[in-house]
Amino acid sequence: MKRTVDVSIPLGPVHPCWKEPARVKCETRGEYVLSAEVELGYMKKGIERIMRGRPWQEVMFLAERVCGICSVIHNMVFIEALESISNIPVPDRAALLRVVVNELDRMQSHILANFSYCYTIEHETLGMYLLDVRENVMDELERITGARVTCAYIVPGGVRFDLRDEDALHLRANLAAIEEEITRYTGMFENGPLIALRSRGIGVLTREAAREACAVGPTARASGMPETDRRLRHPTYQKLGFTPVSREEGDNYARIMMRFQEVLQSIALIRTCLDTLPEGPIRGGGIPGAGETAYSGEAPRGELSYFIKTDAAGRVLDIAIQTPSIMNIEACCHYMLKGVASLADVSSTFVSSDPCIACTER
Amino acid sequence: MSLLQKVKNFVRSKSIHVAYVDVGSCNGCDIEVLACLSPRYDIEQYGIYVHNNPREADILLVIGAYTPGWEEKLRSLWDKIPDPKVAIAIGNCPISGCVFNRPHSLIDPPVAKHIPIAAQVPGCPPRPTEILSAVLAMAPVVFKDYEVKKR
Amino acid sequence: MAFSFTYYLREFFRLEWLRKFLFVRTAPLAIPSYFRNFPELTGKTCTHHLFCMMACPAPGAIDVIRTPEGWHPRIHQGHCIRCGLCVEACPNGVLTSGRILETMFFDNTALSFSFRIDVDTERCMGCGNCAVACPVNKLIDPQMSHGGRASTDELLLKVSEGKCKVLHVEKCTGCKICEDHCPNEAISVARLLEAVHAPEEEP
C-alpha cells in the first residue's frame, strides 16, 4: 500500500523536555503521527561486560549505576539474586528495612516521573509542587541510608544501617505530610480542567496492545494488567499483604494517576513496615558461593530481571540484565504514538511512559 | 573596555542560561540537576534559568562519561553555543569515568579531552547544593572581560 | 471556565499558601550532618591493613601513602563515589564520613575480610614464584630458596611435590602479589567481604 508521508521529524537527542538523550523519529502527515521509531545508542557504556569477573562489592555499585533513578531496586534485585544462589538468610528486620527503602525510592521515582510529565505539558506549577514533595522523600532516604541517590544500602545477608528510633519518628511525621500533599496534588491533577484536557484520551494503550507489547509496570497497570506486578511474588511483600492497584483507561491521564495511586500505596506499605518492625539483628553475614539463577523484582518502571552466574569465590562470571524501560519504550513508540497522537503530544506521551534511557542501554 | 560593555557584562552575568547534556551517565546526576530546580534549592532565584536549548545557553553542564554515541555530536553541540560560554563537568563520570572506567568499557573519559571544561563538581552524584554553588561560582566568570579576551 | 477560576481562587487564597508566599525562604546551602560526604581523617593511627583500598569499588579513589609520620589514606575527589565502604572496612576507625562510624558503634556492625586462594593444579608448574614473592612468607622464612621449597610448614604458600600448596590461608593479607608473579595465571586470590555484626567484646 502506498503511504503518503509529508515529513519525517526527528525529536532529540537533545530536547528541552527529555532529560536523557534518545531520538524519536516521527513520520507525520500534517499534524498527525503515522508511525514512530526510537533510535537509541547514546548511553551504551557496556556495564555488563565490566561486571564480569568482579566480586560482589564492586558489581553491587555497578548495578546501582545501571540506573540512577531506581538505584535501590537494582541493588536489591542483584543482592537477592546472590542470596538465592547461596541460600543466605536475611533477618526479619533487614527484610522490612529493605522494603522501606525500596518504597521510598519508588515514591521519589514516581513523583519525578509525574513532575516530568507536568513539566512537559507546561503545567509548571504542579510540577514544582511535586518536586518540592520529592525533596521530602529524598530527605528521608538520606536520613536512613546516608545518600540521596545511589544509596548502597543493601548488602548480602542484610542492610548496612539500622533505622534509628528518632529517624523512624521523623519518617512517620514526614509521611503524613507527604500523604496530605500528594492527595491534594492528585486532586489538582484529577480535577484541573486544563490538565485533563491535555491528558485524557491521548496516547491510548489498550489492554490487548499492552499485552502484545509486553508492557510492564505502571504503564501496564494503567491498561488494566495488575498481575504484571512482581511484588506479588516477593516473600516480604506477600507477608505484608500487598495487592496491586490498576486502572482501565490506558491513556496518559491513567498512567499519571496510576503513579499517584502507587505513591499513596507505598506510603501505606511503609507504615505497615514501621508498625511491624521487629527488634533484632540487621546483618546475618554470609559469603556468596557458586551457582546461577534468574531473579526478578519490581522496579518503579516495571519488571527488572537479573541473570547471574557466580564462581566459588562469589565473583560474577556472567550477568545479563533486563530492564523494564525497553518494553515500555516499545509499547510507547509502536502503540501509543501510532496514529493517535498529534505532533504536539509526542513528547508528553513519550514522557508519560516514563522511559529511562540509562537503564535501557546500560 | 568601555563602561557600557562593563555594565552590559555585569547585567548579563546576573541572568545565566544553563543547558545540560547527558553524554552517558547513570541518570543520578541528571536528577540532581533537576532537583536544583525544586523550590527547596530554587536555582531561578539566582537568575539562572535551566532549560535544554544549547543555542541560547551560557553554561553547559556536561553529565556522563562520554560514550561512543557522542563522538563529534558533543563537539558540534559545543560549537552551537554562542560565545561566551563555559562547560561544567557534573559528577565523577566526566572527570574520571567513575566506576565505569574499567577494562572493556566503551567510554572515553575524561570529557576534557573533547571540549574545554572550566569547572568540575566531584561526587557520585554531587548534591544539588554543590551543583548550585559551582554554577554560582562560574556565573561571574563567564562574562568578565569578555570583549578583552575575545581580542 | 467558571469552575477553573473558582478552583484557582480557592487554591491560592488558602492561609497556608499565603503564609508560604509571603514568608517562606529557601533553605541555606548546607550539607546535613547525616550525609555520607567524602571520607575524612579522624587522626587515629593507620596500621596499613589496606582494607579500605580492597573494599573500594571505584578505580583510583583511595590510596594509602607513607609519610615520615606514618601511613595515611588519601581520598581522590573525582574518583571517590562516597559509598562509605572504606569507613566501614577500616579496623581502626581512621576514616570518618557522615554518621557511618557512629551507626557502626550503635548497631555494632562491621565488614569482615577473609581471603581465599585458589590454585589451578592443571596450570600450576611448581615454579615457586608465588611463594618467593609472598610478603607473608618473607617474614616467616627470609631464607626461602627460589624454587619455593622450605623446611617449615608455618608458611602461607609452599611448593611441594611439584605443585604450589596453600598451607595457612588465614595468614593471607590479600595483597595479590602472587597473582602478579604467576607466569601461568594459575593462582587467584579472592577478597571476600562479609557484612556482619561485630562479635560482642568480653567485658
Q: Do B39 and A128 lie within an 8 Å CB cutoff?
A: yes
Q: Is C29 on the interface with B (CB under 8 A)?
A: yes
Instruction: Measure A165 CA to nearest chain B CA, in Å.
Output: 26
Residue A201 backbone class (left: φ over 0; alpha: ψ -120 to 50; beta: rest): left
pLDDT category, B97, cuts 50, 70, 90?
confident
Partner residue facing B124 (CB), from C26, C35, C81 = C81
Tally of CB atoms within 10 A around B145: 13
Chain A residues whose beta carbon lies within 8 Å of the beta carbon of residue B40: 132, 135
Tally of CB atoms within 10 A around B79: 11
Q: Do A61 and C194 lie within an 8 Å CB cutoff?
A: no
Q: Do A19 and B34 lie within an 8 Å CB cutoff?
A: yes
pTM: predicted TM-score of the whole model, two decimal places: 0.88
pLDDT at C3: 60
Instruction: Measure B61 CA to nearest chain C CA, in Å.
Output: 16
Q: What is the pLDDT of residues C9-42, one digit of tens each?
A: 777 778 888 887 788 777 777 788 888 888 888 8
pLDDT at C203: 44
Mean pLDDT of C47-61: 83
Chain C residues whose beta carbon lies within 8 Å of the beta carbon of residue B111: none
Question: Which residues does A144 contact at the CB level (< 8 Å), separation at least 6?
Answer: A97, A100, A101, A104, A153, A161, A163, A167, A171
Residue of C nearest to A167 (CA): C34
Q: Which three cell numbers stand for residue A39?
A: 533510535
Q: Which three cell numbers stand for residue A343?
A: 505532533
Instruction: Give chain A as a 3 state SS string.
Output: CCCCCCEEEEECCCCCCCCCCCEEEEEEECCEEEEEEEECCCCCCCHHHHHCCECHHHHHHHHHCCCCCCHHHHHHHHHHHHHHHHCCCCCHHHHHHHHHHHHHHHHHHHHHHHHHHHHHCCCHHHHHHHHHHHHHHHHHHHHHHCCCCCCCCEECCEECCCCCHHHHHHHHHHHHHHHHHHHHHHHHHHHCHHHHHHHCCCCCCCHHHHHHCCCCHHHHHCCCCHHHCHHHHCHHHHHCCCCCCCCCCCCHHHHHHHHHHHHHHHHHHHHHHHHHCCCCCCECCCCCCCEEEEEEEEECCEEEEEEEEECCCCCEEEEEEECCHHHHHHHHHHHHCCCCCEHHHHHHHHHHCCCCHHHHHC
pLDDT at C199: 65
Q: What is the pLDDT of residues C134-182, one digit of tens each?
A: 888 778 777 776 666 777 777 777 777 777 778 887 778 878 888 888 8
d(C-alpha B31, C-alpha A3), whole Å: 41
Whether the predicted pLDDT of B56 surpasses 50: yes
Chain C residues whose beta carbon lies within 8 Å of the beta carbon of residue B92: 58, 78-81
Whether the predicted pLDDT of A305 surpasses 60: yes
Query: How far is residue A98 from each of residues A75, A163, B69, C98, measured CA to CA in Å?
Result: 10, 11, 36, 21
pLDDT at C104: 79
Q: What is the pLDDT of residues A124-154, one digit of tens each?
A: 888 888 888 998 898 888 888 888 888 888 8
d(C-alpha A346, C-alpha A338), whole Å: 10
Q: Do C80 and B120 lie within an 8 Å CB cutoff?
A: no
A–C: how many Cβ contacts below 8 A?
Answer: 91
Domain holding B117, by residue range, is 3-150
pLDDT at A3: 63
Whether the predicted pLDDT of B86 surpasses 80: yes
Indicate the residue type of A160.
R
pLDDT at B135: 86
Q: Do C190 and A60 lie within an 8 Å CB cutoff?
A: no
Query: How far is residue A123 from each of residues A119, A120, A337, A343, B42, measured CA to CA in Å?
Result: 6, 7, 21, 18, 17
Residue of B nearest to C21 (CA): B39
Q: What is the mean pLDDT of chain B?
A: 84
Q: What is the pLDDT of residues B17-38, one digit of tens each?
A: 888 888 888 888 888 888 888 8
Q: Is A313 on the interface with C (CB under 8 A)?
A: yes
Interface pTM, i.e. ipTM: 0.85
Residue A337 backbone class (left: φ over 0; alpha: ψ -120 to 50; beta: rest): alpha
Least confident interval from A212-226, B59-73, B78-92, C163-177: C163-177
Which residue from C163, C33, C150 is spatially nearest to C99, judged by alpha carbons? C33
Q: Do C34 and A191 lie within an 8 Å CB cutoff?
A: no
Chain B residues whose beta carbon lies within 8 Å of the beta carbon of residue C62: none
Are the C-beta atoms of residues C153 and C169 closer than 8 Å to each other? no
Are the C-beta atoms of residues A304 and A322 closer than 8 Å to each other? yes
pLDDT at A313: 80
d(C-alpha B87, C-alpha B76), whole Å: 14
Mean pLDDT of A32-50: 83
pLDDT category, A337, cuts 50, 70, 90?
confident
Number of compact structural domains in chain B? 1
Q: Which domains does chain C have, with CATH numbers?
A: 40-108 (3.30.70.3270), 115-191 (3.30.70.20)
Are the C-beta atoms of residues B49 and B20 closer than 8 Å to each other? no
pLDDT at C8: 73
Chain A residues whose beta carbon lies within 8 Å of the beta carbon of residue B127: 148
Whether the predicted pLDDT of A253 surpasses 80: yes
d(C-alpha C95, C-alpha C40), whole Å: 5
Chain B residues whose beta carbon lies within 8 Å of the beta carbon of residue C27: 40-41
d(C-alpha A13, C-alpha A21), whole Å: 4
Q: How many CA atoms lie within 13 A of A273 on its CB side?
A: 28
d(C-alpha B116, C-alpha B137), whole Å: 17
- Phi and psi dihedrals of C64, rounded to 5? -110, 120
Residue of A nearest to C83 (CA): A152
B–C: how many Cβ contacts below 8 A?
Answer: 48
Whether the predicted pLDDT of C50 surpasses 60: yes
Chain B neighbours (≥3 Cβ pairs under 8 A) are A, C
Whether the predicted pLDDT of A2 surpasses 70: no
Cell 527488572, residue located: A304
Cell 534559568, residue located: B49
d(C-alpha A99, C-alpha A96), whole Å: 5
pLDDT at C202: 45
Q: Do B70 and A42 lie within an 8 Å CB cutoff?
A: yes
pLDDT category, A247, cuts 50, 70, 90?
confident
Q: What is the pLDDT of residues A181-200, one digit of tens each?
A: 899 888 888 877 777 777 88
Which residue from A316, A312, A305 is spatially nearest to A57, judged by alpha carbons? A316
Q: Do B92 and C27 lie within an 8 Å CB cutoff?
A: no
Q: What is the pLDDT of residues A59-70, one digit of tens each?
A: 888 888 888 888
Are the C-beta atoms of residues C29 and B129 closer than 8 Å to each other? yes
pLDDT at B101: 84
Q: Do C82 and A147 lie within an 8 Å CB cutoff?
A: yes
Q: Is A55 on the interface with C (CB under 8 A)?
A: yes
- The interaxial angle of helices A71-86 and A56-64, nearest 10 deg, is 150
Partner residues linked to A291 by β-bridges:
A310
DSSP state of C144: -
Mean pLDDT of B100-108: 84
Mean pLDDT of A90-111: 89
Q: Do C58 and B98 lie within an 8 Å CB cutoff?
A: yes
Instruction: Measure B129 CA to nearest chain C CA, in Å.
Output: 6
Which residue from A98, A54, A84 is spatially nearest to A289, judged by alpha carbons? A84
Q: What is the pLDDT of residues C85-127, one digit of tens each?
A: 888 888 888 888 888 887 777 777 777 778 888 888 888 887 8
Domain harbouring B136, CATH code? 3.40.50.12280
pLDDT category, A5, cuts 50, 70, 90?
low
Sheet with A291-299, strands from edge to edge, namely: A291-299, A302-310, A316-322
Q: Is C35 on the interface with B (CB under 8 A)?
A: yes
Chain C residues whose beta carbon lies within 8 Å of the beta carbon of residue B127: 31, 35
Q: Do A138 and B35 lie within an 8 Å CB cutoff?
A: yes
Q: What is the mean pLDDT of chain A?
A: 85
Indicate the residue type of A260.
F
Q: Do A58 and B99 lie within an 8 Å CB cutoff?
A: yes
pLDDT category, C1, cuts 50, 70, 90?
very low
Partner residues linked to C190 by β-bridges:
C116
Q: Do B30 and A20 lie within an 8 Å CB cutoff?
A: yes
Mean pLDDT of B60-89: 86
d(C-alpha A14, C-alpha A23), whole Å: 8
Instruction: Measure A291 CA to nearest chain B CA, in Å.
Output: 24
d(C-alpha A156, C-alpha C145), whole Å: 42
Per the model's pLDDT, the better-predicted residue between A161 and A197 turns out to be A161
Chain C residues whose beta carbon lies within 8 Å of the beta carbon of residue B39: 26
Instruction: Measure A361 CA to nearest chain B CA, in Å.
Output: 9
pLDDT category, C84, cuts 50, 70, 90?
confident
